[in-house]
Structure 1
Amino acid sequence: MKMVNKIVTLIVLGVLSLAGLILFGYSEFVTKDILQDQPVAYEIINEWQLPKELDEVSGIDWLGDNKLACIQDEDGMIFIFNLETSKVEKSVEFAGAGDYEDIRIVGTTAFVLRSDGEIFEVRDFLSGNSKTKTYSNFLTQKQNLESLAWDKNNKRLLLAIKDKEPKDDNYKGVYQFSLTDKELQEKPLYRLNMEDSLLRQRETKLNKKLQPSALSIHPGNSNFYILDGRAPQLIIANSKMKFKKRYALHKDDFEQAEGLTFSENGRLFISNEGKGGKANILEIVFK
């Protein structure tokens, strides 16, 4: 009987230990956000449901004429989505399968970011005779890059680290890729401060306080808009990347917010992956 009791005790202890490990691991990913309990600070003024081929939409950019260039994180395709007809009117293949995360349009060229830091330059992407060139750099899949911004005034692209900054957990670097020499500078241009006072209302690990899934520059005031889709939030920073305002985005509206872009007159669009439901694009304004 003693042997049976001992075995039972060991089994119970083992189960409790396993449960503790699971709970600890789960807590690594849970983020509590005080702002989530407050009324929403934004209004959704337009919504577009996306077709099946964009269920995994991961990046969007404004093309003009009420059209968006969209990518998804499985296939090397650029989809042109018409906001007036709510349909994909054109698709352009630029590479094979891969984890593509963001897109920016510079003139007749599309730049696409893969999660390992590889940048794809797709020249004349709407011509029917596009040409693709790739640029490798020192970043890797460990950084898990999802955000690409076009800094028009300085002729450069900006890449923000999502997961693991190579050098320090207290910040995440924003690195510049020159459109003149096509090289990524090793020193970060900006540092997203994980200890900023605006992030203290989020109860989670330091390096999970902000995990950028999209980055864009407002065309009117040059403020940076930083989207975090995991526990959805939107950070507005000034032109020097000093945080000014933080908005919690409610899960009911933003299931998995991955893409962000502005029209030339400042309309703000955010895309959501399907994640079991239907992917969409939302146009929002802040109250």
Structure 2
Amino acid sequence: MPNQFRFLLFLTFLSVISFGCNSISKENNLLKEYDLGNPEVFAMPESLKEISGIAFDKGRSDSVYAIQDEEGKLFRLGWQNQKAQHVKFGGKGDFEDLAILKDQVIILKSNGDLYSFPFADVRFETMDKAQEWKNILPKGEYEGLYADPVSEEIFVLCKSCSQDNAEKRVSGYILKMAGGIKKTGNFELDVEKIKALTGKVKKGFKPSALAKNPVTGDWFILSGFNKVLVVTDKNWKPKEVYPLSSNNFNQPEGIAFDKSGNLYISNEGDETLDGNILKIKRLVK
């Protein structure tokens, strides 16, 4: 057997081994520092069956703040307290995500409209009408919102926008609160690079939520439509894609980190299942 042929066989063998190892890792949900297959489950009360976005105040995990799809209410609850407190900030609507930035709560509606009100108002059942911010973002469907406590920038990610081809790219926008909410920049996700990591986005990538890992600086981008979790670097370059098993992730809609780097993902309920929040502890080696 010629030496060149032996070398080619050896390279093929190494490729098979490498592919096999990567496949096993992803099938077992072994995300770096997180075991997606072994979450701690917190059932939500009936009022949060259709839970969507979640957030923490300054990364403190003693209380979680949440919204749901149908009513303009911000909910607050502790992990051991099934009775959620809420403050009404608006009427009925398709509210998708929220962020807490300094002394303000920011809430995203699916059409791209934003609402803001003082964080101090979360203690009450009613409040003055929230400030509405319209026509800041291009027309489209939006589900992902994140506020960076360091840069104080607000990031919004399209789920389905007319200017995008979801099979090739997904647009995102950077906002700032300075005498109001203003658009200051943009970014995009290269879906072709996500495709290179998984076959689950052949029909396009439709993100549901995003959050920045406070320990690594990586972006974690959730898609309930594709049932995947995408990890990118700080410049939005995709690094890893992990499948989300329907056994644990019924309808993943929201994502957040606490200040210790523990990961939380919220799931909408249905006719037979409660809504929940899954806590995936950061595995410190």
Scaled by the length of structure 1, the TM-score of the pair is 0.79
In the TM superposition, what whole-angstrom CA distance separates every residue of 1:55-74 from its partner, at most 9, and x where no partner exists? Answer: 11011111325110010010
Q: Which amino acid aligns with 1:50?
A: M
Work out which of the residue numbers 229, 233, 241 in structure 2 matches 1:238: 233
CA distance in 2, matches of 1:175, 1:55: 29
Whole-angstrom distance in 2 between the partners of 1:165 and 1:119: 19
Q: CA deviation at 1:102?
A: 0.3
> Does the residue aligned with 1:125 lie in a helix, a strand or coil?
helix
Instruction: Give runs of aligned pairs for residues 243-258 of structure 1, distance below 5 A.
Output: 243-258=238-253
The 3-state SS of whatever aligns with 2:216 is coil
| Comparing 196-205 and 42-51, the one that deviates more | 196-205
**Partner of 2:141: helix, strand, or coil?**
coil
1:158 partner amino acid: F
1:279 paired residue number: 275
Matched positions, count: 249
Q: Give the structure with the larger strand fraction.
A: 2
Picking from 13, 32, 57, the partner of 2:51 is 57
The CA deviation at 1:205 is 4.3
**What SS does structure 2 have at the residue aligned with 1:266?**
coil
1:72 corresponds to: 68
Gapped runs of 5+ residues in structure 1? 1-33
Aligned counterpart for 1:143 among listed residues 132, 137, 140: 140
Contact 1:43 1:286 in 2 (8 A): no
Checking the alignment, whether the CA contact within 8 Å between 1:165 and 1:171 is kept in structure 2 is no
Partner of 1:157: 154
Identity %: 26
Decide whether the 8 Å contact of 1:156 with 1:176 is kept in 2: yes
Q: Is the 8 A contact 1:171 1:192 kept in 2?
A: yes
SS in 1 for 2:150: helix
Letter in 2 for 1:76: G
Measure, in 1, the Cα distance between the counterparts of 2:239 and 2:72: 36
User: What is the CA deviation profile of residues 217-271 of structure 1, one whole-angstrom value per residue up to 9, with x for unaligned ones?
Assistant: 1112221110001231111111111111111110111110001111111111100
Within the alignment, does 1:173 sit opposite 2:167 as a pair? no
Q: Deviations over 1:190-209 (max 9, x none)?
A: 21111115555325545x2x
Deviation at 1:113, TM superposition (A): 0.2
- Name 1:46's counterpart in structure 2: 40
Secondary structure of the residue that 2:210 maps to in structure 1?
strand
Find the structure with the greater CA-based Rg.
1
Which residue identity is paired with 2:63? Answer: K
Query: Is residue 155–residue 180 contact of structure 1 (8 Å, CA) maintained in 2?
Result: no
> Which residue of the partner structure matches residue 201 of structure 1?
198
Q: Report the CA distance shift for 1:53/1:237 in structure 2 as closer, same or farther (over 3 A).
A: same
1:82 is matched with which residue: 63, 78, 89? 78
TM-score by length of 2: 0.79
Shift in alpha-carbon separation, 1:217–1:165, aligned structure 2, 3 A: farther
Amino acid at match of 2:262: R
Return the alpha-carbon distance in structure 1 between the equivalents of residues 100 and 184 of structure 2: 24
Work out the CA distance in 1 between the residues paired with 2:96 and 2:24: 27
Aligned to 1:182: 180
In structure 2, list runs of 5 or more residues that go unmatched. Answer: 1-22, 31-35
Query: 1:96: how far off?
Result: 0.3
